Amino acid sequence: MKKRKLGRSGIAVSAVGLGCNNFGVLDIAQSRRVVDRALEQGIDFLDTADIYGGRGGSESQLGEILKGRRKQVVLATKFGMAMDDDAHKRRAARGYVMAAAEASLTRLKTDWIDLYQLHTPDPGTPMEETLRALDELVKSGKVRAAGCSNLPAQGIRDAAGIARDKGLGAFVTAQDEYSLLVRGAERELIGAVAAEAMSLLPYFPLASGLLTGKYARGAQPPQDTRFGRMQRFSDRYMNDGNWTIVEELTAFAQARDKSLLDLAFAWLLSKPVLASVIAGATRPEQIDANVAAAAWELTPDEVAEVDRISAKS
């Protein structure tokens, strides 16, 4: 498994990561099988959030699963989404950040978090206050590096400027949606991330499953799939424009004896700004498929052709 750096942090992670949003929904035995296979296959980057698994379930399961092997992984988690029903809480304020970090450390049964990420912007809290809190956590040894998620390009630039001006630790990563079917990050965000020597961590790299090849145009999604369970995802991704792109991409991959999933990973990993493709898994076999997909290195001409196929007017 190849490794890439998380921005300027010096932290190296596997090019394929494991998204742990399903943990806490899966029973712990299932989650353990997925983590075990990931480690066997050379995946060492595990990404979760305090809210995953029903407000704490994912972190709690990981804390149990990683007993005795915490040093084998680079562990990322997030704060800032609602862990209670208080709609007015400032979840990037210093006091909240400190308390959230301690709660995550307790659930994860660890003394440190490798990458601690602001999950979503908090318009009620000045960015300087958030950065100061994260800087304090880094200096205390409880966090190794800080990242953000869902910040717009201008927010990335503003945060970097504040960090420089105030002598604070800067965000080293940005986690945002990016895939062959959702390329909006290319308009401005990726440029901002690259200009600040940060790394992009794409979420929904498989467009919530549409790029796995398990769905067909006009067919009802199986009930045991994300599209079958959650109509908001099927409504968002399953449209005629996306189906046309998916069918062309599938033909491109098959002409090279590859799958659509292989192409989804290989195309993302052709982008130098990416540190790791974080994909969720509910079964060990999905880990195997993700790792195999990452081995395909597209040529520059192939990247250009895939860019053309997946471009939207």
Distance (Å, rounded) from C-alpha 275 to C-alpha 270?
A: 11
Residue numbers annotated as active site: 52
Mean pLDDT over residues 31-38, rounded?
98
pLDDT at 234 exceeding the cut of 70: no
pLDDT tens readout for residues 72-115: 999 999 999 988 988 888 999 999 999 999 999 999 999 999 99
DSSP single-letter state for residue 218:
T
DSSP per residue, 91-129 = TTSHHHHHHHHHHHHHHHT-S-EEEEEE-S--TTS-HHH
**Is 245 contained in some domain?**
no
pLDDT at 229: 58
Residue 177, domain extent: 3-209+260-298
The vertex-20 CA angle with 94 and 2, nearest 5°, equals: 100
pLDDT tens readout for residues 241-251: 898 999 999 99
**Is 311 contained in some domain?**
no
pLDDT-derived band at 228 (thresholds 50, 70, 90) equals very low
73-111 burial by CB neighbour count: b if 16+ within 10 A, else e? Answer: bbbbbbbbbebeeeeeebbbbeebbbebbeebbebbebe
Paired tokens of 8: 């300027």
**Is 44 contained in some domain?**
yes
**Is 113 contained in some domain?**
yes
**Is 222 contained in some domain?**
no
Mean pLDDT score of the chain: 93
pLDDT at 197: 97
* CATH (domain of 194): 3.20.20.100
Domain count, the chain: 1
pLDDT tens readout for residues 161-209: 999 999 999 999 999 999 999 999 999 999 999 999 999 999 999 988 8
Mean pLDDT over residues 268-284, rounded?
95
